[in-house]
Structure 1
Amino acid sequence: MRNSSAVATGLLLLAGAITTAGPAAAADNGDYNLPDLGQPADTALTPSEGIRLGAQVIARLRSQHMIIEDPELSAYVNSVGRRLARHTDRPADEFHFYVIDSDDINAFALPGGDIGVNAGLITATKSESELASVMAHEIAHVTQRHIARQMAESRGDTIATLATAIVAAVAGAAAGGGGDAAVAAITGGMSHLGMQQLSYTRADEHEADRVGIRDLARSGYNPYAMGRFFGTLQRQSDLYGQQLPQILLSHPVTSTRIAEANARAADYPNVKVHTNPEYPYMRARARVLEARSANDMRDYFKGEIHGDHPIAADKYGYALALSRLSQNQHAIALLRAGLKAHPDILAWRMGLADALEHAGDNAEANKVLSAALKKFPHSDPLKLAYAQNLEDEGKPAAMRNYLLSQTSVLNTYPAAQRLLARGAGKQNNLGEAYYRQARYFAMLDDYPRAINQLRTALQTAKLSAYDKSRLRALRDQMVRACHHAWSKDKCRRGVAKGNDY
C-alpha cells in the first residue's frame, strides 16, 4: 500500500497529506495572500456537509477498529490540538483529534475539523513541538477549506463516496499492503478530479505550511520544529528503501523545502517555547498501544533503558509492556519507583493504578487514583479511570453517583456511558441500562445500534412510564441525528441489519 502512487495521490487529494514548506512566509502580521474562502468552496462543500463527512469517516474508522480508544493518549493529543486551534480563526471546540492505529508516519485532516494523527507519527517525533508542527499543518487544511476548494473543481462526489474513499485509503495504508480496495475506491470515486488537480493541491500544501508555522509560533511551539522534523525524515529516508512513509511518498523532502521552512520560522523570533513533561510518556504509550507484540515492546524498551541515552519514559514504556505480559509485580515495582522519582507526572500514577488493577488489587489502585485526583483534579482520563476502578471493586452505585457528577467525562468519553450502562444492569435498572447503552452507541456515531437498543427496550423490557417516555424521546432524537449524519435510506437499512453501516 505504501508504494501505491494511486493511494498516495488519493490521500493527497482527500486528506491533505503532510508536506514540507513552500515559499517564505511573512511575519505574524504580514500579508499571506490567502485566497477567498467563500464561494465556490462553500457551494461545493458547505460547513455542515464537512461536519457530516467527518462524522461518517470517523464512524467507519471506529467500526474497523482503526482508532486507538485510549482516554489518556487521546486527551493528550487533543490538548496539543486545542492549544493550536485556539490561535486560528475557528472555535477550538470545532476540532477533534483522533489517534489512528497505524505505524505509518502520517496524519490527515477532514473539512469539518476532524484530524487523524497516526500513532507512528507520534513515535517518530522528538519533541512536542515537532508533533504540533504536523498537527498545525493539518489544522490549516481545515481553516483554509482546502478540500472544499478542490471539490469546487469536481463533478459532484457524494459525501458517502468521499467518506468511503478516505476510509479505504487510511485503512489500506495502515495495513501496509493489500491496498487494492483502497486504490479502487479512490480511483473509482475521485477519478474525475484528474491529475490536473495535483499542482493546485501542492499550492494548498504550501499554504498549509505557511499558516501552520504561523499558528505554531502563536501557540508557543518552536516554529523551527517543522523544518527539523522533515530534516529528520530526509536523513532517514535512505533507510526506508521501498517502504517510504506516506509523507515522503506524497512530497519528497528536499533541502530547499527545509530551508524555506526554517526561513519562515525566522520570522517569529523570541518564541517562548511551551514544553509538556508528559510528552515523552505519551510517545512511549503510543508505541506500546500501537504495537502488535508486547514481547517486542518489552525488548525495545529494555534496549532503550540500557542504551546510550536512556530517559525516564523508557522505564514507563517498559513497565506498560510488562503489565501487558501479566508480569504485574515487576511492572508495579518499576511504576512505584517512577512515581517516587517523578511525582508530578500523571502517567506514572495512572500506569501504576492500571498495573494494580491487572494484578487484582483494586483497593490499592483506588488509593493511588484517589491521591492522584487530589493532585490532578481536572484530568478527565483520571476521573474515568477512577470510575472504572469503582466498578471493578463492585461498587456500581458509587460509580454511578461519581460519573453523574462529571459532566465533561460523560460528554467526552463513550466509555463513561458504557460504564453507566453496565452499572445500571447490575442494579437491575433496565431503563437506565438501555438509555446509557444507546447513548454509548450514539457517541460512536453508530446510530442504528443506538436505535435498535431503544426499540428492543420499548418492545420487550418491563419499564416504568417514565422510562418509556425517556427512551421514546431518545429514540426520536437518535433517528433525527441518524438522518442528518447519513440519510433516511441508509439509516433504515442500518437499523434493519441491526448493525452499523
Structure 2
Amino acid sequence: MRISRAAIAGMILLASTSAVAGPAGAAGDSDGDYNLPDLGQPADTAMTPTEEKRLGAQVVAQLRSQNQIIEDPELSEYLNSVGRRLASHTDRPAKDFHFYVIDTDEINAFALPGGYIGVNSGLITATKSESELASVMAHEIAHVTQRHIARQMVESRGDTIATLATAIVAAIAGAQAGGGGDAATAAILGGMSHLGMQQLSYTRANEFEADRVGIRDLARSGYDPHAMARFFGTLERQSDLYGQQPPQILLSHPVTSTRIAEANARAADYPNVKVHTNPEYPYMRARARILEAQSADDVRDYFRGKLQGDHPIPADNYGYALALSRLSQDKHAIALMQAGLKAHPDILAWHMGLADVLARAGDNARADTILSAALKQFPHSGALKLRYAQNLEDENKPAAMRNYLLSQPDVLDTYPAAQQLLARGAGQQNNLGEAYYRQARYFAMLDDYPQAINQLRTALQTAKLSAYDRSRLRALRDQMVTACHRAWSQAQCRRGVAQGNDY
C-alpha cells in the first residue's frame, strides 16, 4: 500500500502524542511511581518513562534551536495555566506537563513523549472560547496519560532516541510547511519506516480513547464538555473552504460525523458543569495573533477591521494597540492601552500591554511605575515579575535587577530568560564568574547541555576567576556533564561538546 506524505506526517504527529511526563531539564530523575494504569508489558518494553522524557526533551530542544517555539512569557504563562488546570484532574501530577506555543498559523496541536505538548498559535486564534482551546489540549493530554506512543512503539526498539527525535521534529516541520514535505518523508522513511502501518492501524482507537478521556477531564476541570465536538465540528464544516489543504488538525486528527456524535453523547454525561473562563483568554488569543503575524501592517488592518465590525470586543483594542506599537505609532498605542487599563483594571494584559508600549516608546520610567503597581495587584504572575526585571535592565539598573531576581526563585526556576538577564547584568558589572555561571544555567534550562558545558569550559580555560568562582564553575560543569549523559547519552554529549581535557 502506498501512503501519502500527508498521511505519514499525520501519523507521526499522532505518534508524537503520548507518554509519560517529566519536567524539562530533570534528566536525573528516576522513573518513580507515576500511578499509571496497567497497560501491559509491551508499552514498557518499547519505551520506559525515562526514555519518553528523554525523547520529548530532545524534540523540544530541537524545536527551540529551529526557532519554532514562541518564547513569550505572558502567552506561555496563560497556556500553562490552562494545561495545569486540565492536568490536575488527571491521574498524573500537573507539574509533569509542559506546554509550548508553536510559531505557526496552522491549526493544530500535538503531544510529545514525556508530557511535552505543543499548541500552534494558529489553533489558539482559531478557537472561539477557552473551553474550545482546553478541549484540544485535553485531547492531547489524554494521549499522554494513555501512553499511546509507547503502546505503538513495540517494534521501535532498534531506533535510538536521537533518531526518533529527529524524525518527529522533521515530521512536525514538514506538516507545518503544508502536509508532509520531503524533509519529513525522508526522516520518517529513513528512521521509522517500520512503524508506519502499525501506527496507522492504531489511529482510530487512539483518537476515540483520547476523546473519551479528554471530555472527562474537561468536565472535571470546569470546562464545557461539549466544546470538543463543537470545535471539531466547526472545523469540519469550514474545511470545504480550504480546498485540498484542510487544517492540519483534520489530517492528524481525522473527524467524522460518527466521532462528533459520540463526543456529544459522552459530553451529555456531564450535564451540570459550571463552565470556567479566564478573562485573560481573548487577550491571549489576540496576543497569539500578534506574535504569529508576518506583517505588522496586516495584523493592524485585521484588528482595525474587527473594531469596525458588528461585534468588537475590548481585546480587539488591545490587539490593535500592540500592532500600532510595532509600527511605532506610539502615541495612539499608549492612548488605547491607557483607556483599556482604566476600563478593565482587573485584566493583567492591559497592565503589561501598557508597560510594553511605553517601553517600546522609550519611556521605561513610566513602564516601571505601571509594572510596580501591577506587581501589588498580581503578585503570583511569573511573567509579570520577569517583565519587571527586564524593565530594570532597560533602565540600566543591573544591580537592582539582580537583587530583584534573586529574591524570586520561582522566576529563576521557571524562565530561562531570567538566567540570561542575570548573565547580562553580571557582564555589565564585570563579574565574569557569575556571568558564565548564569549563561550555563540558561542553556541547561533549554536542555542544551553541550552549550552549557562549553560555556563553563571556556570560562575555566580563559577567564580570570577568583578561587570561589573557579570552584563553583567546576562543580556546575560536573553537574552538567552528568545531566547531559542522562538526558541525551554520553556519545551525543561528546559530539556536542568541543573536545578537550576537561571533558
**Fold conserved (TM > 0.5)?**
yes
> What pairs with 1:319-398 in structure 2 (closer than 5 Å)?
319-398=321-400
- Corresponding letter in the other structure for 2:150: A
> What pairs with 1:125-144 in structure 2 (closer than 5 Å)?
125-144=127-146
Determine whether 1:414 maps to 2:399.
no
> What pairs with 1:188-337 in structure 2 (closer than 5 Å)?
188-337=190-339
Q: CA deviation at 1:256?
A: 2.1
Q: What residue is the counterpart of 1:23 in the other structure? A: none
> What pairs with 1:102-141 in structure 2 (closer than 5 Å)?
102-141=104-143
Q: What residue is the counterpart of 1:95 in the other structure? A: 97
For 1:156 and 1:222, how far apart are their aligned partners in 2? Answer: 43
Q: CA deviation at 1:410?
A: 0.2
Length-normalised TM-score, structure 2: 0.93
For 2:239 and 2:198, how far apart are their aligned partners in 1? Answer: 28
Q: What residue is the counterpart of 1:184 in the other structure? A: 186
For 1:236 and 1:377, how far apart are their aligned partners in 2? Answer: 42
Determine whether 1:173 maps to 2:159.
no
Can you list the C-alpha shifts for 1:314-356, whole angstroms capped at 9, x where unaligned?
Answer: 1111111111111111111110011011111000110110111
Task: Give the match's secondary structure for 1:496.
Answer: coil
Q: What residue is the counterpart of 1:453 in the other structure? A: 455
Q: What residue is the counterpart of 2:67 in the other structure? A: 65
Task: Give the match's secondary structure for 1:54.
Answer: helix
Deviates most, 436-445 or 241-250: 241-250
Q: CA deviation at 1:178?
A: 8.1
Can you list the C-alpha shifts for 1:22-79, whole angstroms capped at 9, x where unaligned?
Answer: xxxxxxxxxxxx9832412111110011100011000000000000000000000000
Q: CA deviation at 1:202?
A: 1.6
Give the gaps of 5 or more residues in structure 2.
19-35
For 1:15 and 1:203, how far apart are their aligned partners in 2? Answer: 13
Residue of 146, 149, 152 corresponding to 1:150: 152
For 1:476 and 1:299, how far apart are their aligned partners in 2? Answer: 53
Q: CA deviation at 1:214?
A: 0.3
Percent of matched pairs sharing the same residue:
83
Question: What is the count of residue pairs matched by the alignment?
Answer: 480
For 1:252 and 1:163, how far apart are their aligned partners in 2? Answer: 24
Task: Give the match's secondary structure for 1:99.
Answer: strand
Can you list the C-alpha shifts for 1:452-474, whole angstroms capped at 9, x where unaligned?
Answer: 11111111111111000000000
Can you list the C-alpha shifts for 1:432-487, whole angstroms capped at 9, x where unaligned?
Answer: 01100110111111111111111111111111110000000000111111111111
Task: Give the match's secondary structure for 1:108.
Answer: strand
Residue of 4, 8, 16 corresponding to 2:6: 4
- Corresponding letter in the other structure for 1:104: E
Q: What residue is the counterpart of 1:19 in the other structure? A: none
Q: What residue is the counterpart of 1:160 in the other structure? A: 162
- Contact 2:318-2:340 at 8 Å conserved across structures: yes
Task: Give the match's secondary structure for 1:195.
Answer: helix
Q: What residue is the counterpart of 1:495 in the other structure? A: 497
Q: CA deviation at 1:15?
A: 3.2
Task: Give the match's secondary structure for 2:497.
Answer: helix
- Contact 1:44-1:156 at 8 Å conserved across structures: no
Q: What residue is the counterpart of 1:484 in the other structure? A: 486
Can you list the C-alpha shifts for 1:118-169, whole angstroms capped at 9, x where unaligned?
Answer: 1011011100000001001111111111000001244532211110111011
Deviates most, 274-283 or 6-15: 6-15
Q: CA deviation at 1:177?
A: 7.1
Can you list the C-alpha shifts for 1:93-115, whole angstroms capped at 9, x where unaligned?
Answer: 00000000011111111221100
For 2:213 and 2:11, how far apart are their aligned partners in 1? Answer: 22
For 2:474 and 2:40, how far apart are their aligned partners in 1? Answer: 41
For 1:268 and 1:3, how far apart are their aligned partners in 2? Answer: 39
Task: Give the match's secondary structure for 2:498.
Answer: helix
Q: What residue is the counterpart of 1:44 in the other structure? A: 46
Q: CA deviation at 1:416?
A: 0.2
Task: Give the match's secondary structure for 2:321.
Answer: helix
Change (3 A) 1:383 1:427: same
For 1:177 and 1:290, how far apart are their aligned partners in 2? Answer: 19
For 1:259 and 1:40, how far apart are their aligned partners in 2? Answer: 32
Task: Give the match's secondary structure for 1:274.
Answer: coil
Q: CA deviation at 1:5?
A: 2.5
For 1:333 and 1:497, how far apart are their aligned partners in 2? Answer: 55
Change (3 A) 1:112 1:177: closer
Q: What residue is the counterpart of 2:23 in the other structure? A: none
For 2:441 and 2:198, how far apart are their aligned partners in 1? Answer: 45
Deviates most, 253-262 or 461-470: 253-262
- Contact 1:3-1:242 at 8 Å conserved across structures: no
Task: Give the match's secondary structure for 1:378.
Answer: coil
- Corresponding letter in the other structure for 2:398: P
Residue of 438, 443, 451 corresponding to 1:441: 443
Q: CA deviation at 1:201?
A: 2.6
For 2:224 and 2:485, how far apart are their aligned partners in 1? Answer: 44
For 2:126 and 2:329, how far apart are their aligned partners in 1? Answer: 28
